[in-house]
Amino acid sequence: MGVFERLVDRGLVPADLLAGQFRGRVLTLARQLREGGLTGIARRSDEHLAQVAEGPLVAAKPGVLHPEGPLPPAFFAHLLGPAMLTGPWFADGDDLRPATAEQTALEFIVTRAGLVDGDRVLDLGGGLGAVALHAAARFRECLVVTRCANAHLAAHVTRQAKQRGLLNLQVVVSPLSKFRPEERFDRILAIEGTQRWLDHRRLLQRFETWLEPGGSLLLQLPTHADVPHVLPLPPLDWLGEHMVPTWHLTTLEVLAQHLEGLRLQSWWHLPGTYFARTLQAHLEHLNNRQVAIDEQLRKAFG
């Protein structure tokens, strides 16, 4: 960690200066990724794909602000809205009140997934159960199975399901890399936690075997327009120590090459401004709940 990072860590850098430094580093990284034009981008994409194909399926270290990390669900109750959706809220309007924005996003998800009562639905998890809980409540005749990475998260989702009287939700404890469902599903939802996926080809091959004939997968991924990469990279490597140890950004072109037996039925993209607005709303929540959040952080880290 350099001098600037140490000053940031001690809270000695003004917010405007910190924001300017961060923007500058992001722009530097963007220029580096695009050096050499199309030839350079193609070379870096090939190197990237070769690297992830030789590594694990999913990043092992979740990071501080990931639900599978060291902080309890009580912490995220302060950071997120009542549904505790960890993905972008991407509300259609300017209303970023947590309850409104989260429900808009969750309805967006189940609508795009084409869920109907009677479906067997698998939520691959990676969050705090928001997607699975919403799907189970919205479609009471569906069987919804959700995967949780550990017993800590599974207990949280199970409590939420019991409080809401959801008898059609099953919780399975397993890391994604070792997850092997015994049945097939009409719909698979992969919404939260997908930024930690590394080898999309092998993962999609597995998902295909979990689908009933005619079934569908709804996949939400953070992407870039042209070049895939895994954060952190210099000059953003200082983020990796605690906050973002692994964040995989792919591209639609690369993802389409990895579909294997799956067929791309439809796709859409949402601009980064949606995620920026979500992050801004999270910061406002943090500021409004600073005392409670500080207490949770002290419990977790001393």
pLDDT at 7: 79
Sequence letter at residue 254: V
What value does the mean pLDDT take over residues 55-65? 88
Alpha helix locations (H) across the chain?
A: 3-9, 15-33, 37-53, 73-79, 98-113, 130-138, 151-163, 200-209, 252-257, 272-288, 290-301
pLDDT at 170: 98
Interval 247-283: pLDDT, tens: 899 998 899 888 988 999 998 888 888 777 777 777 8
Evaluate whether 197 touches 58 at the Cβ level (below 8 Å).
Answer: yes
pLDDT at 93: 58
Query: How far apart are alpha carbons 196 and 59 in whole angstroms?
Result: 5
What value does the mean pLDDT take over residues 191-219? 95
Query: How far apart are alpha carbons 107 and 131 in whole angstroms?
Result: 9
Name the percent of the chain in helix, strand, coil, to the closest 5: 50, 15, 40
For residue 86, name the pLDDT band (cuts at 50, 70, 90): confident
CA-to-CA dists, residue 288 to 13, 15, 16, 284, angstroms: 21, 17, 20, 6
For residue 234, name the pLDDT band (cuts at 50, 70, 90): confident
Query: What count of other Cβ atoms lies within 10 Å of the Cβ of residue 213?
Result: 6
Interval 20-43: pLDDT, tens: 888 998 899 999 999 999 999 999
Alpha helix locations (H) across 178-271?
A: 200-209, 252-257
Interval 142-174: pLDDT, tens: 999 999 999 999 999 999 999 999 999 999 999
Residue identified by tokens 């689908």 is 211
- Close Cβ partners of 126 (under 8 Å, ≥ 6 residues apart): 67, 68, 86, 149, 176, 190, 191, 192, 193, 194, 196
| Burial class of 222 by CB neighbour count within 10 A (0 to 12, 13 to 18, 19+) | middle
CA-to-CA dists, residue 142 to 92, 123, 173, 216, angstroms: 27, 12, 20, 15
The residues facing 187 across adjacent strands are: 121, 216
Query: Does residue 92 have a pLDDT over 60?
Result: no
**In the numeric block, which tokens belong to residue 25?**
């580093």
pTM assigned to the model: 0.91
Q: What is the largest CA-CA distance in the chain?
A: 58
The dihedral region occupied by 84, where left means phi > 0, alpha psi between -120 and 50, and beta the remainder, is left
